[in-house]
Amino acid sequence: MALAQHLPIYKLASDLCSLAADLTKNMRREFKRTLGEKLLTECIEVTIQIFRANTAEGRDRVQHIQQILERIQVIELMLRLALDKQLIGANQYARTVEITDPLGRQATGWKKHAATSPAA
């Protein structure tokens, strides 16, 4: 088992956290404490779940990965709302998609592998 910090999926999640922090910092005041804070919290939770999935085995690993996938969907919904409310620009939104898309693909692949492994 590799350290979570060395996994490509962890690097993507870390990049997403950093980007979310920057996006939140520039949001209008009325959305900073609600949407911005929730967005950053969800990104941090994805990173935590990656660590937990990496240390878990069998069905526990699959459950953690499922939580990662659900949180990525929530993040994508919040980012879309932020774009619709003009809290972030189209270029900023595009940058987040460049991270969330491969993050979701890697988590899905990890889930499939974990579900079919003998320990599952």
Q: Are 57 and 10 in contact (CB under 8 A)?
A: no
Query: For the whole model, what pTM was predicted?
Result: 0.91
Q: Give the pLDDT confidence score for residue 1 in this predicted structure.
A: 52
Give me the domain span that covers residue 72: 4-116
Residue 20 CA to its chain's centroid (Å): 10
Q: Give the pLDDT confidence score for residue 117 in this predicted structure.
A: 79
What is the domain count for the chain? 1
**Distance (Å) of CA 60 to CA 14, 31, 92, 116:** 22, 35, 35, 13
Q: Give the pLDDT confidence score for residue 97 in this predicted structure.
A: 97
Q: Give the pLDDT confidence score for residue 108 in this predicted structure.
A: 96
CATH number, position 100: 1.20.1440.60
Structural element, H or E, at residue 62: helix 58-84
The rounded average pLDDT for each run of 10 residues, N- to C-terminus, in the chain (120 residues) is: 74 97 94 95 97 92 96 98 96 97 96 81
